[in-house]
Amino acid sequence: MPPPQSRRKATQVDIARRAGVSQATVSLVISGGAVSDQIAESTRQAVLAAAAELGYSVNVAARSLKGGRNRLLGLYTFEPVFPTDQRDFYYPFLLAVEEETARQGYDLLLFSSVNASADRSIYASGANRLKLADGCVLLGRNVRREELAALMREDFPFVFIGRREVDEGELSYVAVDYVTATSAMVAELSRLGHERILYLRAMEDTEPTRDREEGYRRGLDEAGIPFDESLVQGLADPAGLSVERLQHWIGSLGVTAVLIEPTEDDRLVQALAVMDDTARVRFPDDCSVALLGDPPSWTSDLRDWTRFSLPRTQMAREAVRMLIDLLGEVSPAPRQLSIPCSFVPGDSIGPVPSGGAQPDQASRPDQASRRRREP
Amino acid sequence: MPPPQSRRKATQVDIARRAGVSQATVSLVISGGAVSDQIAESTRQAVLAAAAELGYSVNVAARSLKGGRNRLLGLYTFEPVFPTDQRDFYYPFLLAVEEETARQGYDLLLFSSVNASADRSIYASGANRLKLADGCVLLGRNVRREELAALMREDFPFVFIGRREVDEGELSYVAVDYVTATSAMVAELSRLGHERILYLRAMEDTEPTRDREEGYRRGLDEAGIPFDESLVQGLADPAGLSVERLQHWIGSLGVTAVLIEPTEDDRLVQALAVMDDTARVRFPDDCSVALLGDPPSWTSDLRDWTRFSLPRTQMAREAVRMLIDLLGEVSPAPRQLSIPCSFVPGDSIGPVPSGGAQPDQASRPDQASRRRREP
DNA sequence: AACCAGATCTAATACGTATTAGAGGAGGAC
DNA sequence: GTCCTCCTCTAATACGTATTAGATCTGGTT
């Protein structure tokens, strides 16, 4: 057995010495795929043998230093990704980003200033930590616009998962086509005879919400249903969706169908499920319900809501691919990609309930009596 | 608007030029924590300002090539972490590693050659990719010993989550004390009167399994129960745990309690649950059952098995802390830390069934008749 | 005036690799 | 013999940083 070598790892210089060639030759043999066929076979064998004997392995740092790239992609989330209550929502993105990154031969750098909420900033400590990576995939609902703008100013390559707008100009994103999906949902309801369709939107004015609202209006328009401002309701808190409120809408507004924008946690959908289970409001018997997105916590015993479903895996993959594409260009222009949602028929929409089609007072006592029906 | 800068990232040389100092000074200001107080405050400010203006961030590869530190910790898993069927098992580790890493002011580098199973090697393509990180946390059941050995040979700092042994010598790990936990479980069963306790172990000869077996023997020993080789059964495939097999053990071996090593997916525990639900074998009425670890997929409607529970969060945190400690030392000695499991009483063990205590033939026809009881 | 002692900064170098221009030799054509 | 081509290899350099020995300056002491 040879005496334990010095702790130092073998380098190409060591191999070169042992094989009686130059370091450059070693480099050509080891990693020069295309150029290495101009090396004589005997030399090649000698080098490979020496490399094997010395247990050589390439020094990644040196290689990427030379190349200017680290082969690292960053994943930055504007919201904590790991907490349990949002885990089902973000997990598919994570999974797919990680997979595709690996498939492309990159490693994934996970940025997370999890705890100190104030620290959750790209520009913590003055230095831009993101820049450790060659480029970055961004994720999260509550974006800090200034940070995005700063990234753009510095020409740092990044791709957002989800459509985002910034005053500074265009940025690259892979989004989901909420507009088309929502308007298709309205069309579907219209086909079933619904005309009083309530849109229950999130309070914050983010792009996903804006897009849904646009889809809602477009859908009404194409179905020839007039837009009624009172049928767009904001919901600040999932707890705000009470049986009473829903019954009020059904009763006094004549609503027969509700489009709901699901939140990232599962309370909203849970609330709906409870109403249905306890038969205080039944879907679709009393009212049709469709979700404008996936219910976040999907377990097999959950109700099969009518909804459209985000192709999260595909979105994440496309984002990674787009990012790597951008990295390859000298002066890349921002790109936008929009992916269609898939429609899930489910069982929570149906024809207009017989007594509830007319938006007049007649239906109100009916609903009021039903309210007492609980045990 | 300034003309679009060249795509090149700013370097310390750029900063130096702009601030009118040397590159060395920049390096001292940027990363020389201890030595940087010999720099005049005015110079320091000028450098920092220039760095901010240029959007500088350090080049990891260069720093690591030079031998410096990156404040990056790697997380390497020997098995795919993200696949859904193992997600509940590994998720807590991931979560805690990520949290603690962030808390310590490090970033997390996720290594994963997810798909190509053959590629799932630290030494893929000859390059030791891990080395971009200052140190690494390793995770996973089916370790490649050669790779561990290679890491040790190269003095790369790492900490394994879980006890691991390698011929080459000691390595650092944070483990869970399966021996004590298992022997305590045996003691508990013995206290309830059980003497014929079956140990259903995994087929592979990994450390966790070995430790459980040792705990099993020690527990028997301390309870004064003789060891019976036929009461240790290997289970290659979760599907191998059939009702018939279990009834055979109860009937002809006189088994009254079973210790089960849960697999990383949830099929084994599912199988048990089904037996119990369909009343073909009821726990603990027909036989006591205790799990030597957590059932992997824990949902609220799952049965509350008697078991012990791994402190996964704590393990992961300790691993990160240990790793950072190791990084601080010049020539660190391997460290081992063992953390106790917590006992979860559950409801799947009970006293010895009245008719099944004697391991003689009398019980066999009784069991055989029960076997027909299904609808 | 000569010397010294900080204080502050810089020049030079090493790290391991990839790349490129070109060196050196062999062989053939004229 | 001269020129040319092809083949194989090497010298030299750049990549961006950390580190260290020493340079330069400032102000004070003898």
Which bases along strand D come within 7 Å of a protein CB atom? 7-12, 14-20
* CATH number of the domain that residue B361 is part of: 3.40.50.2300
Distance from C-alpha of A91 to C-alpha of A79, rounded to nearest angstrom: 13
Same domain, B128 and B160: yes
- pLDDT at res. B358: 45
As a whole number, mean pLDDT of residues B58-64 equals 83
Residue B355 is predicted with a pLDDT of 59
Which of residues B295 and B15 earns the better pLDDT score?
B15
Share of chain B above pLDDT 70, in %: 81
| Set of chain B residues whose Cβ sits within 8 Å of the Cβ of A110 | 98, 107-110
Distance CA B229, CA A159 (A): 60
Mark whether B278 and B129 lie in a shared domain: no
Residues A288, A368 within the same domain:
yes
- Flag if A114 and B99 touch (Cβ within 8 Å): yes
Does A277 or A219 have the greater pLDDT score? A219
Number of structural domains found in chain B: 3
Q: Please indicate, yes or no, whether residues A94 and A233 belong to a single structural domain of this protein.
A: no
The answer on B335 and B252 residing in a single domain is no
Mean pLDDT of the region A335-341: 96
Name all protein residues with C-beta less than 7 A from any atom of nucleic acid chain D: A 20-25, 28, 38-40, 42-44, 62, 65-66, 68; B 8-9, 11-13, 23-24, 27-28, 30-32, 35, 56, 58-59, 62-63, 65-68
Q: What is the pLDDT of residue A357?
A: 43
Q: Does A231 lie in the same domain as A153? A: no
Calpha distance B251→B256 (Å, rounded):
9
Q: Quick one: which H or E segment has residue A29?
A: helix A23-31
CA angle B211, B135, A106 (to 5 degrees): 105
Mean pLDDT for B99-114 is 76
Q: Is the predicted pLDDT of residue B312 greater than 50, yes or no?
A: yes
CATH of residue B34's domain is 1.10.260.40
Q: What is the rounded distance in angstroms from the CA atom of residue A227 to the CA atom of residue A370?
A: 29
Angstroms from B284 CA to nearest CA on chain A: 27
pLDDT in tens, B350-372: 999 875 444 444 443 343 333 33
Phi then psi dihedrals of residue A108, to 5 deg: -110, 130
Q: Specify whether B75 is located in the same domain as B89.
A: yes
- A174: three-class secondary structure by DSSP: strand
pLDDT digits (tens, 9 = 90+) for A171-195: 999 999 999 999 999 999 999 999 9
Domain identity same for A293 and A265: yes
- Here the tokens at position A358 are 């007319």
B258, amino acid identity = V
Is the pLDDT confidence value at A264 over 80? no
Provide the domain limits for residue B336.
60-171+310-341
What is each CA distance from A226 to A196, A204, A351, B249, in whole angstroms? 9, 25, 20, 72
Q: pLDDT at position A32, please?
A: 65
Please check whether residues A41 and A147 belong to one and the same domain.
no
| Banded pLDDT at B57 (limits 50, 70, 90) | confident
Percent of chain A's residues with pLDDT above 90:
36
Residues A201, A301, single domain; the answer is: yes
Query: With 70 as the cut, is the pLDDT of residue A24 above it?
Result: yes
Same domain, B222 and B361: yes
CA–C1' gap, B65 and D12, in angstroms: 21
Are residues B265 and B357 both part of a single domain? yes
